[in-house]
Amino acid sequence: MADFRTGLTQWARKRSIWVFHVNAASCNGCDIEILAALTPRYDAERLGVELVPSPRHADVLLVTGTLNPLMRDRLKTVYEQIPEPRHVVAIGACALGGGVMKDCYNVGHGIDSAIPVDLYIPGCPPRPEAIIYGILKLVTGIPDPIITGEANVG
Phi and psi at residue 33, to the nearest 5°: -70, -35
Cβ distance 54 to 95 under 8 Å?
A: no
How near is the Cβ of 3 to other proteins at its closest, in Å? 14
Residue 18, classified by CB atoms within 10 Å of its CB into exposed (0-12), middle (13-18) or buried (19+), is middle
Type of residue at 119 = L
Using CB under 6 A as the binding rule, the residues of this chain from 90 to 109 that contact ligand SF4 are 92-94, 99-100
How near is the Cβ of 54 to ligand SF4 at its closest, in Å? 9
Q: Is 101 in the site for other proteins (CB under 8 A)?
A: yes
Cβ distance 34 to 90 under 8 Å?
A: no
Using CA atoms, how far apart are residues 55 and 51, in angstroms rounded to an integer?
A: 10
Q: Is 115 in the site for other proteins (CB under 8 A)?
A: no
Q: Is 27 in the site for ligand SF4 (CB under 6 A)?
A: yes
Interacting residue with other proteins among 33, 88, 111, 116 (CB under 8 A): 33
Using CB under 6 A as the binding rule, the residues of this chain from 47 to 86 that contact ligand SF4 are 51-53, 64-65
Q: Is 36 in the site for ligand SF4 (CB under 6 A)?
A: no
Q: Is 1 in the site for other proteins (CB under 8 A)?
A: no
Task: Please give the size of the binding site for other proteins, defined by CB under 8 A.
Answer: 102
CA torsion angle for 112, 116, 122, 126 (degrees, to 10)?
-110
Q: Is 53 in the site for other proteins (CB under 8 A)?
A: yes
Q: Is 4 in the site for other proteins (CB under 8 A)?
A: no
Interacting residue with other proteins among 3, 4, 103, 154 (CB under 8 A): 103
**Residues in a beta bridge with 19:** 51, 60
